[in-house]
């Protein structure tokens, strides 16, 4: 049995409608790229109650509740505009201003799908989180390409994330489904005033039929805390 949140469809539809209208006839001067669309969807979905269904009957009921549907749509559109404005006021460095740009195509299957990789960098002297630093994920001495431009490598740690960094490597082509391989990685950070930190780890993977482009908390590879000691 699958559980579906109807509000995801409502929000996606509202975002696509407003963003596409801005592309056809620019009035706000806001970014309409794929990353902004996803961020606005998340902004809205985190501020409205979900409506879960498990059957076609639930979908039909949602469509026939006209009074509730009208108010719901108005609330969603208002939040989309609010989120769009806030996100454009504080963009990430990798955002592209202007019309939507397609995310680079993921490799066709079979592929090795990597989990997201998460860790934390702490001050070795007092165990406090470090901030304003960059952490890189390397393989064979090169920075590992990420699944899309919304994931950065090196990853910049800011004060609000309390020392946490996260990567999601781009899927790697495989010969055939079921192939096995072990990928070796290195997390590395060079910090002003601190000794460099480095950690090696391996990910044994089995090739899958197609690339996975939806993140899940069940597939996060958590690394041990890294401690940077003052020089």
Q: What percent of the chain is predicted at pLDDT more than 70?
A: 84
**3-state secondary structure (DSSP) of residue 46:** coil
pLDDT at position 217 is 57
Distance between CA atoms of residues 226 and 231, nearest Å:
16
Distance between CA atoms of residues 77 and 83, nearest Å:
10
Q: CB under 8 Å to 192, separation ≥6 — which residues?
A: none
Distance between CA atoms of residues 25 and 11, nearest Å:
21
CB 115 within 8 A of CB 203: yes
What is the average per-residue pLDDT within 41-46? 88
CB 227 within 8 A of CB 197: yes
pLDDT greater than 60 at residue 75? yes
pLDDT at position 218 is 60
Instruction: List the CATH code of the domain at 111-228.
Output: 2.60.40.1120
CB 123 within 8 A of CB 130: yes
- pLDDT tens for each residue of 168-216: 999 999 999 999 999 999 999 988 889 999 999 999 999 999 998 876 6
Q: Bridge-partner residues for 227, per DSSP?
A: 122
Distance between CA atoms of residues 190 and 136, nearest Å:
9
**Taking the complete model, does pTM exceed 0.85, yes or no?**
no
DSSP 30: -
Considering just the CA atoms, what is the radius of gyration of the chain in Å? 21
DSSP 170: P
Cis peptide before 151 (omega within 30 of 0): no
Domain edges within the chain: 4-89, 111-228
DSSP 6: H
Q: Bridge-partner residues for 178, per DSSP?
A: none
């Amino acid at each position: 049995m699958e559980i579906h949140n109807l509000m995801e469809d409502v929000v996606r539809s509202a975002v696509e409608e407003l963003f596409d209208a801005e592309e056809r006839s620019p009035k706000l001067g806001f970014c309409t790229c794929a990353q902004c669309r996803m961020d606005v969807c998340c902004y809205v979905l985190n501020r409205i109650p979900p409506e879960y269904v498990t059957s076609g009957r639930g979908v039909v009921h949602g469509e026939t509740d006209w009074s509730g549907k009208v108010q719901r749509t108005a609330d969603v559109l208002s939040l989309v505009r609010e989120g769009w404005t806030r996100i454009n006021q504080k963009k990430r460095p990798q955002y592209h201003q202007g019309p939507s740009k397609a995310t680079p195509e993921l490799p066709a299957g079979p592929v090795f799908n990597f989990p997201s990789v998460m860790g934390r960098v702490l001050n070795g002297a007092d165990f406090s989180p470090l901030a304003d630093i960059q952490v890189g994920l390397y393989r064979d001495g090169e920075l590992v390409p990420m699944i899309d431009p919304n994931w950065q490598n090196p990853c910049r740690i800011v004060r609000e994330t309390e020392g946490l960094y996260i990567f999601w490597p781009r899927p790697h082509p495989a010969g055939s489904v079921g192939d096995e391989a072990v990928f070796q990685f290195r997390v590395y950070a060079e910090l002003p005033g601190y000794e460099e930190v480095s950690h090696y780890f391996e990910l044994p993977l089995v090739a899958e039929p197609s690339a996975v482009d939806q993140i899940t908390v069940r597939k996060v590879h958590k690394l041990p805390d890294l401690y940077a000691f003052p020089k």
